Amino acid sequence: MSTSTSPSPPPPPPPETAPSPTRRELNKAATRQAISDSTLELLRSKGPGKFTVEDIAEAAGISRRTFFNYFSSTETAIASVTHGFLDTALQQFRLRPADEPILESARAALVELADPMSVAPMAELFSLTQASPLLARSELEAWDHCTEQIIAAARERAAHSPAGDMDELYLRALAGSVISCGKAAMEVWFSRCGTDLSPKSLAILRQLLIDSMGLLGSGFAAPHSSERS
Amino acid sequence: MSTSTSPSPPPPPPPETAPSPTRRELNKAATRQAISDSTLELLRSKGPGKFTVEDIAEAAGISRRTFFNYFSSTETAIASVTHGFLDTALQQFRLRPADEPILESARAALVELADPMSVAPMAELFSLTQASPLLARSELEAWDHCTEQIIAAARERAAHSPAGDMDELYLRALAGSVISCGKAAMEVWFSRCGTDLSPKSLAILRQLLIDSMGLLGSGFAAPHSSERS
DNA sequence: CACGCACTTACACTACGTGCATGTTTGCAC
DNA sequence: GTGCAAACATGCACGTAGTGTAAGTGCGTG
């Protein structure tokens, strides 16, 4: 599509995030982004399930066949947003010191998500997902994928740690619970604040994430109802 | 729930599971079962994704169109197995006394699942799901559906309880965690015992379910190494 | 018996996802 | 620069999914 008539792009690659700024990969990333953007735009304008792959291809200026070279379905294209969001959390998790309790690492990683840049796409996705089982399922897949990643990260951490072996049940149950609590916090936040991204709203999200990890760490002790934040 | 005071329902219903034994609904249930069976059979013989709706229809002795009158996709047909399994758990959960701690109710309900009749289809599904992302996603949906059900059940219970309002975060985080832990226990069990349904294997499953609830109740206290019994 | 309703079936149609053959761009060596 | 090879985009064709519609068939009711 673009980049056909550029007279002279300087040969040495400027220091970008990509370690291989070759023209091909750059172009490919651009196309991928264009598809993702067009998909999201159609999602906004027409609503979920109300547009076809051909519509996306046309909006992105590519052929239908090319779309499938990048994503295996519209769901996949949409899920890339969620994956990006959760990968951010994963990244944060991996940065935590290995001797820190997993719950604390998770808490720290999740709190990092309460950031306009990160949550903005997710909040929008949430609002669109509400009335669409089609989207809900790809969301589920994304969360599950993240769970697996956390298990892998935690297992790797355990291997480096002196205390060594964590058993499989502990690992999977904890990872799954952490994700469930993070998800619960997101859901409650969205039901209260919608797509509001103001500092106040984000503070609420942050607190919800902290609270959910607190519940998990205390074994969901007392529902009671008196403590209000 | 309790309509147990009538000793003899005289004219219409013979004491079967179906309250309406009319020929039509009976026939319909049979067809539904035939489809489900044929689907599972093809799943076994040909493997996931290796057969079409037409194959199922032919095996069940119906037309392709009729299949879609019962299930909206092959996934749905397969998921009916998982739904049946999880609905059993739900049913058990609802039977627990309202003043019992939720975690204890969940533990009791889950332990009821460690029963040959209940787990047999699930174990088979698990073995087929392993190498098939197609099945994995419908599994995820089923678990999620169950989570929503638990939330609903717990909320309803809270409404009847004197201690009244449980906040949304607590509810969702707990329900999600319970399901995640139950799922983790199932996964670990399957990875250890495969489709073995012997009493010894089921005892392991039962213990895993209890342990996972224990972890949840103790806030995932000490990973350490394993406390062995 | 005849009518009405639930259900099944056949047909047609849109859209998805993939294999394949072909044209175009990019990277690399000469 | 020129030529080559690999990567990528595209068009075409095919099988399959899922849905609307109208006509046929079995079941319950008056």
Which of the nucleotides lies closest to B32 (Cα–C1')?
C7
User: What are the extents of the domains in chain A?
Assistant: 23-70, 74-217
Q: In sequence order, what are the residues at sequence separation of 6 or more whose Cβ sits closer than 8 angstroms to the Cβ of residue A131? A: A48
Which CATH superfamily does the domain covering B74-217 fall into? Answer: Tetracycline Repressor, domain 2 (1.10.357.10)
CA distance B166 to A227: 11
Res A24: pLDDT: 84
Q: Are A180 and B184 inside 8 Å of each other by CB?
A: no
Per run of 10 residues, the mean pLDDT along chain B (length 229 residues) is 36 45 87 95 92 97 97 92 85 92 92 87 83 83 91 86 77 96 94 92 94 95 53
Residue A7, pLDDT > 70, answer: no
3-state SS track over chain A: CCCCCCCCCCCCCCCCCCCCCCHHHHHHHHHHHHHHHHHHHHHHHHCCCCCCHHHHHHHHCCCHHHHHHHCCCHHHHHHHHHHHHHHHHHHHHHHCCCCCCHHHHHHHHHHCCCCHHHHHHHHHHHHHHCCCHHHHHHHHHHHHHHHHHHHHHHHHHHHHCCCCCCCHHHHHHHHHHHHHHHHHHHHHHHHHHCCCCCHHHHHHHHHHHHHHHHHHHCCCCCCCCCCCC
Cα separation, A134 vs A112, whole angstroms: 28
Contact of A93 with A109, CB cutoff 8 Å: yes
**pLDDT band per the 50, 70, 90 thresholds, residue A153:** very high
Cβ-based burial of A228 (10 A; exposed 0-12, middle 13-18, buried ≥19):
exposed
Name all contacts of A3-7 with Cβ < 8 Å and 24+ positions apart: A3/A27
What pLDDT was estimated at residue A117? 86
> Is the alpha carbon torsion for B33, B38, B43, B45 positive or negative?
positive
Tens digits of per-residue pLDDT, A191-229? 999 989 999 999 999 999 999 999 999 999 865 544 444
What residues contact residue A49 under an 8 Å CB cut-off, 6+ apart? A132, A134
Q: Look at residue B15 in the predicted model and tell me its pLDDT.
A: 42
Q: What does the alpha-carbon distance between residue B220 and residue A101 come to, in Å, rounded to a whole number?
A: 10
Binary contact (B180, A185; C-beta < 8 A)? no
> For the domain A23-70, what is the CATH code?
1.10.10
Chain A touched by B141 (CB under 8 Å)? yes
Give the pLDDT of residue B125.
85
The CA distance from B66 to A149, in Å, is: 41
Q: What is the CATH number of domain B21-71?
A: 1.10.10.60
A6 touches strand C (CB under 7 A): no
The answer to whether the Cα torsion of B225, A108, A150, A127 is positive or negative is positive
Supply the pLDDT for residue A162.
64
pLDDT of residue A52: 97
pLDDT at A13: 39
Structure tokens at B49: 């994704």
| pLDDT per residue as tens digits for the range A23-60 | 888 999 999 999 999 999 999 999 999 999 999 999 99
**Is the alpha carbon torsion for A42, A47, A50, A53 positive or negative?**
positive
φ and ψ at residue A18, rounded to 5 degrees:
-80, 135
Read off the DSSP letter of residue B97: -
pLDDT in tens, A92-113: 999 999 889 999 999 999 998 8
Least confident range from A6-10, A56-60, A121-125, B2-6: namely: B2-6
Nearest by CB to residue B103, choosing from A179, A191, A220, is: A220
pLDDT of residue A164: 58
Q: How far apart are CA A205 and CA A115, in angstroms?
A: 10
Measure CB to CB from residue B211 to each of A165, A169, A225 and give the nearest one.
A169
The rounded distance, in Å, linking the Cα atoms of A157 and A141 is 24
Q: Chain B contact for A225, CB < 8 A?
A: yes
What is the structure's pLDDT at A122? Answer: 86
Chain A residue with minimum CA distance to B140: A140
Given A173, A188, A225, which is nearest B172 (Cβ)? A188
Whether any strand C atom is under 7 angstroms from the Cβ of A191: the reply reads no
Please tell me the distance from the alpha carbon of residue A45 to that of residue A41, in angstroms, as a whole number.
6
Q: Is residue B6 packed enough to be buried (19+ CB in 10 Å), middle (13-18) or exposed (0-12)?
A: exposed
